[in-house]
Amino acid sequence: MFKYSRNNFFSIKKVYKANEISKLFVKILIKKRLTNNFDILDISSLKFIKKNSVLFLDQEINAPKNYTNNILFISDKETIFNNPKYNNIILIKNLNESWNLLINLIYSHEDSSDYTDEFIKYNNSYISKYAKIDASSKIYNNCVIGKGVEIGKNCIIKNNVVIKNSLIKNNVVICDNTSIGTTGFGFDFYKRGSSFLNPQIGIVILDDYVHLGSGCTIDRGKIDYTYIGKNSMIDNLVHIAHNVEIGENACIAAQTGISGSVIIGNNVTIGGQAGFAGHIKIGDNVVVAARSGVTKNITDNSVVAGFPATDIKEWKKNIIRNRKNGY
């Protein structure tokens, strides 16, 4: 989608070799099969597979052939481990635990105590020395713009806005007290607390002409990005979780919440106080009525309402029938 380097946001602490990684996992390692040894320079997702990277696998994939010699796979499923097509693979006991261990070893991020950034006062805001802001964009008072952030042309960043780990394209407007690029709520269900939250090393991308209201929270991606498409308009106090992707021309009213990894198509209209369960797909041109609770995929051009959200005509019929029957 957009080119960016993870290292601009999350400093790599040390370049490990594949065989060093397996040694670091000593406590949770079950077995390993290492055909090659190579530098680990990045983390791959299933969607973006990169050379010289680690890829955490909870399902089989078709890795591009030429990468098999320089990707280190990590899985907690023996069937995956046993598939000979993965030249370099480690079988561990717990995927979450190995993610936390490895990411904290390799990367410094804002939830780790060794994270650093350097700020300069610019107008009345604090801007990282390692951020790039086009001179045509305006930053009002008490904002914080972190390391690696890029802000394009003609943006207006109002007051008390926090932007970290994000690429902001052109003509974007962000209203007061909104937080962008903060830590996604990812965790192992059975191990809780601040030190067990999964480190999040992705970013937020806001495309051209996005408008964000006041008091919103947009979490960064876990590996890749949280994305809001061109011309999308978002009202106040909206929560958008990690890995969410929203297409072009979205219109999302106040206090709506979108859970992690939801994919939303183009031209979608969402009323206020709606909610979306995680990992679902909303098609193009969908309308979601205010206060809907969407729990399943929604096909293109649907209009839904209620909780669990269904076709709005069904929902209305239900209400009328209930009233007639004295229900």
Q: 90: buried, middle or exposed (CB in 10 Å: 19+, 13-18, 0-12)?
A: buried
Instruction: Report if residue 43 touches a copy of itself, rule: CB under 8 A.
Output: no
DSSP 30-59: EEEEES---EE-EEE-SSS--SSEEEEESS
User: Of these, 91, 131, 162, 270, which contacts a copy of itself (CB under 8 A)?
Assistant: 162
| Alpha helices (H) in the chain, listed in sequence order | 18-24, 78-82, 95-106, 312-324
CA atoms of 63 and 49, how far apart (whole Å)? 8
In whole angstroms, give the CA distance from residue 119 to residue 164: 12
Closest to a copy of itself by CB, 85 vs 191, is: 191
Residue 110 binds to a copy of itself (criterion: CB under 8 A): yes
For position 55 contacting a copy of itself by CB under 8 A, the verdict is: no
Q: Is 64 in the site for a copy of itself (CB under 8 A)?
A: no
| Element spanning 217, H or E | strand 217-219
233 binding a copy of itself? (CB under 8 A) = yes
CB of 2 to a copy of itself, least distance (A): 18
Q: How far apart are CA 25 and CA 14, in angstroms?
A: 16
Q: Which of 29, 105, 156, 312 binds a copy of itself (CB under 8 A)?
A: 156
Least separation, in Å, of the C-beta of 299 and a copy of itself? Answer: 18
Shorter beta-carbon distance to a copy of itself: residue 57 or 240: 240
Q: Does residue 133 touch a copy of itself according to CB under 8 A? A: no
User: 163-182 mask for a copy of itself (x: CB under 8 A)?
Assistant: -x------xxx-xxxxx--x
Kind of pairing between the strands at 119-122 and 125-128: antiparallel
Return the range that interacts with a copy of itself (CB under 8 A); candidates 4-12, 69-77, 100-108, 141-149: 141-149
Query: Is 200 within 8 Å of 185 (Cβ atoms)?
Result: no
Distant-in-sequence, close-in-space partners of 26: CB < 8 Å, separation ≥ 6: none
User: Can residue 237 be called a binding residue for a copy of itself (CB under 8 A)?
Assistant: yes
Which CB, 23 or 153, lies closer to a copy of itself?
Answer: 153
Tokens standing for residue 53: 């990277």
Residue 32 interacts with a copy of itself (CB under 8 A)? no
CA distance 261 to 241: 7
* Binding range to a copy of itself, per CB under 8 A, among 23-31, 80-88, 98-106, 232-240: 232-240
Among the listed residues 14, 113, 129, 135, the single contact to a copy of itself using CB under 8 A: 113
The least distance separating a copy of itself from the CB of residue 84, rounded to whole angstroms, comes to 39
For a copy of itself, the binding residues in 278-307 under the rule CB under 8 A are 290-291, 293, 307
- Catalytic residue list contains 242: yes
Q: Among 75, 226, 259, 261, indicate the residue that binds a copy of itself (CB under 8 A).
A: 259
CA–CA dist 72, 285 (Å, integer): 40
Strand arrangement, sheet containing 287-288: 138-139, 156-157, 173-174, 211-212, 233-234, 251-252, 269-270, 287-288, 303-305, 310-311
195 binds a copy of itself (CB under 8 A): yes
Does 12 help bind a copy of itself (rule: CB under 8 A)?
no
CB of 200 to a copy of itself, least distance (A): 11
Catalytic residue among 109, 239, 242, 279: 242
Q: Cis ω on the peptide bond leading into residue 308 (within 30° of 0)? A: yes
Q: Residues with catalytic annotation?
A: 242
